[in-house]
Structure 1
Amino acid sequence: MLKVMLIDDEKIALDVMEILLNEIGGVQVISKCQLASEALASAGKLQPDIIFLDIEMPGMNGLDAGKQLSALCPDAEIVFVTAYHQYAVQAFDARAIDYLLKPVSKERLLETLQRYARLKLRHSELEGTIFQKTPEVKGKLQLKVLGSLELYDKNGKLMTWRTKKTKELFAYLWLHNGKPVHRYHLMDELWPNIDSEKAQALFHTTLYSLRNILKSEGFFGKVEFGDERYWMNTDWISSDFERLEELLDRAGDHAGEQQIEEMLALYRGDLLEMEYYQWADAKRQELRFKYIHFLEKRLMEAKGGNRRILESRLQQLEQL
């Protein structure tokens, strides 16, 4: 049975949520709090599986409370609940698994619980694999590449790069997703206007720097070499690009309002837009076309506020 904590400054909202969860079944509400401070005082001891958290509350708001609750309960998943649309981007930036708009229906709440179950199933399927048995590190690094490239360490801190080329080499190997690339082709892509001998020296210096950065984060042997080719295993990285592609591929015509909001929040800009890597142009345009096609299709079906949001996003993309 799932252990659930409810946090909302409105008592009636807490009671309604508890009633809906009891009607669905398989859930035990272990705590109902009207203040974030109350929840923070008890969460560490209770260790809930899911925390339903209102965003607008007196004192500490839900977004700030969510960060502290995640630290106290690292295995818990956060679901933000609010009456306002405008917090969607911040909610998913806080790595919530869902974002519910009030009034919450039983059907929508059931969808959230099913999403949680799918998430935990994927995690359990990885148990016992070679990736889980690697002793040097736990968890994945978070990578953002929609707009600018930002790689966050295991503590959520933005990582820095020794040189711009180290960052570019990482991006190049990551985007190839484990596909081997011939070393001369790699040098031509990253150092196109430099003679071969100097390019080789720069490449090996940059490669050494990249491997050292990964080692410092506990990731050993991720950049491999064989048959004159280099590749990078990427199972230790979770990215906004992969999540967006997953939503575009799997959601398609069946995307719900929540999935659309998540896609809008994810697409902060084109793939590696702020990095100006010419070798990424083809993939950048491919993803952009896919995303625009999806928005145009959904625009034909949308009404009211959702239609205005989609129109605004399309206009922004057309101006770029």
Structure 2
Amino acid sequence: MLKAVLIDDEEIALDVLEIVLHEVGGVFVERKFLQVDEAFAYLEDTEVDLIFLDIEMPGMNGLIAAERLSLSCPGSQIIFVTAYQEYAVEAFEVNAFGYLLKPVSKERLAKTLERYQFRFRQREQVQSKPIRSSAEEELEPIGETEETSLHLNVLGSMELYDSDHSLVTWRTKKAKEMFAYLWHYDGNPVQRNRILEDMWPEHTLDRAQALFHTTLYHLRNTLKNAGFQDAVMFGDERYWMRLEGIVSDKSQLGALMHYKDGDLSVVGELVKLYRGDYLESENYAWAAARRYEIRAAYLQSLQQLLPLAGRLERESILRKLIMLEPYTEVHYRLLLKDLKEAGEGAAARNLHNLMVDRFRNELGIEISLE
């Protein structure tokens, strides 16, 4: 006999559901609650198999309650019982086991319970399997237990590649942005309200919450399909992303910028790696501060390498500086001087013409060169 609790702000709805459960059979209703907080207090000391939960309730939305229950009652499965069909996507995003529409039909309820029994028996069979020896485990095919690695580019534009080096495609632009947003916080938990304010500032709170749950559902599905299970975590009204399976060009850039004095082997990779500013193409407002920080640190790193570099490395650095700061005259003058000394007359003339044209036509400034 399965044990269950029922949570709904309408007493008649609780009574009707209890009657239907009794008619279907196989479930014992331990308690019924009109208030979510009372259910939380009861479930702290009591284990149940099923939690039947309404979504539209005063005080605490059922979707939010489900997230908390999934953490405090990991052994219990949540089945939503609601009059609103449009919450189906959000319900399964919070890992609900089932979704029943009011008035609950006995046939649909019976199928849900049969599905639970089938999965429960499967889990019992897995748990009852004998533990294999280490020698038997060694017979597992190589690669079966390897961690899935995703490669993320965020310099210039954002691209995510799976372990097969295939570009990950996003269901919606907001799903892509939410991935970037959670990754942006380096695995640190971010409050839900902060996410809503940053990603949906133009919407009301209720609308933003609905969009949030739908977007999170799409994000988790996309990462799951890419082989990255349980990427987004939840706890204490906060969300964060696991980072151990993600390698990024930003982290590679950070490592290169911490070069040892006199080590010029990093110049070529350092210049090549910086394809553009942090999430430049996406231009997310919440990423602006980090964008400026990374850019400033990168420019400083190039400036520090400049006096140490040989002629070819120095030219590579100066051309990168000109690309990033096209209206900084000193970069042009330094490179012109180097090209002249190296006897690169044609290259010097081309650079001179570019400089004069850029300053005259774009800024209205006449440049005088000796």
Shorter-chain TM-score tier? 0.5 to 0.7
8 Å Cα contact 2:161/2:168 also seen in 1? yes
Residues 135/175 of structure 1: CA separation in 2 closer, same or farther (3 Å cut): farther
In structure 2, stretches of 5+ residues that fail to align are: 1-142, 328-370
Of the candidates 247, 266, 274, which is equivalent to residue 238 of structure 1? 247
2:74 — aligned with what?
Answer: none
Aligned to 1:26: none
Shift of 1:300: 2.1
Equivalents in 2 of 1:136, 1:282: separation in Å?
39
Give the letter aligned to residue 291 of structure 2. Answer: R
Cα deviation, residue 245, structure 1: 0.7
Alignment partner of 1:283 is 2:290: yes
Counterpart residue number, 2:257: 248
* Alignment partner, residue 5 of structure 1: none
Output the CA distance in 1 between the equivalents of 2:148 and 2:326. Answer: 38
Larger relative CO (CA 8 A, sep 6+): 1 or 2? 1
Match of 2:273 in 1: 266
**Deviation of the 1:253 alpha carbon:** 2.8
- Root-mean-square deviation (Å): 1.7
Q: CA-to-partner distance for each residue in 1:30-64, whole Å, 9 max, x for gaps?
A: xxxxxxxxxxxxxxxxxxxxxxxxxxxxxxxxxxx
Contact 2:155 2:277 in 1 (8 A): yes
Residue equivalent to 2:304: 297
CA contact (8 A) 2:162 2:168 kept: yes
Contact 2:159/2:168 (8 A) holds in 1: yes
Find the residue that maps to 1:143 and give its secondary structure: strand
Percent of pairs with identical residues: 46
Tell me the amino acid that sits aligned with residue 318 of structure 1: E
Q: Which runs of 5+ in 1 are unaligned?
A: 1-133
Q: Which residue of the partner structure matches residue 201 of structure 1?
A: 210
Shift of 1:262: 1.1
Partner residue of 1:212? 221
Deviation for aligned residue 1:257: 2.7
Hey, what does 2:25 align to over in structure 1? none
- State how far apart, in whole Å, the 2-side matches of 1:262 and 1:311 are: 15
Contact 1:150–1:159 (8 Å) recurs in 2: yes
Q: Which of 194, 216, 223 matches 1:185?
A: 194
Work out the CA distance in 2 between the residues paired with 1:170 and 1:188.
Answer: 16
Paired with 2:146 and 2:214, the residues of 1 have a C-alpha distance of: 25
* TM-score of the two chains, using structure 1 as the length reference: 0.55
Tell me how far 1:137 sits from its aligned partner: 5.6
SS in structure 2 of the partner of residue 224 of structure 1: strand
Match of 1:313 in 2: 320
Contact kept? 1:222, 1:232, Cα under 8 Å: yes
Answer whether contact 2:151 2:162 (CA < 8 A) is retained.
Answer: yes
- Structure 1 Cα separation of the partners of residues 284 and 185 of structure 2: 14
Task: Flag the 1:137–1:208 CA change in 2: closer, same or farther, 3 A.
Answer: farther
Q: In the alignment, residue 292 of structure 1 is paired with which amino acid?
A: L
Please list the CA deviations of residues 108-156 of structure 1 after superposition, one character each: whole Å capped at 9, or x if unmatched: xxxxxxxxxxxxxxxxxxxxxxxxxx96763411111100000011111
1:119-130 residue pairs with structure 2 within 5 A? none
What is the TM-score of this pair, normalised by structure 2? Answer: 0.48
CA distance in structure 2 between the aligned counterparts of 1:181 and 1:159, rounded to whole angstroms: 24
Aligned equivalents of 2:227, 2:310: Cα separation in 1: 48
Distance 1:135 1:196, change over 3 A: farther
Q: CA deviation at 1:252?
A: 4.7
Q: Is the 8 A contact 1:137 1:219 kept in 2?
A: no
Q: C-alpha separation between the residues in 2 aligned to 1:135 and 1:200?
A: 38
Structure 2: how far apart are the matches of 1:247 and 1:298? 12
Contact 2:157 2:279 in 1 (8 A): yes
1:264 partner letter: V
Q: For 2:276 and 2:199, how far apart are their aligned partners in 1?
A: 23
SS at match of 2:281: helix
Which protein shows a greater Rg?
Answer: 2
**CA 281–262 in structure 1, closer or farther in 2 if over 3 Å, else same:** same
Count of aligned residue pairs for this structure pair: 185
**How far apart are 1:247 and its partner, in Å?**
1.6
Q: Secondary structure at the match of 2:275?
A: coil
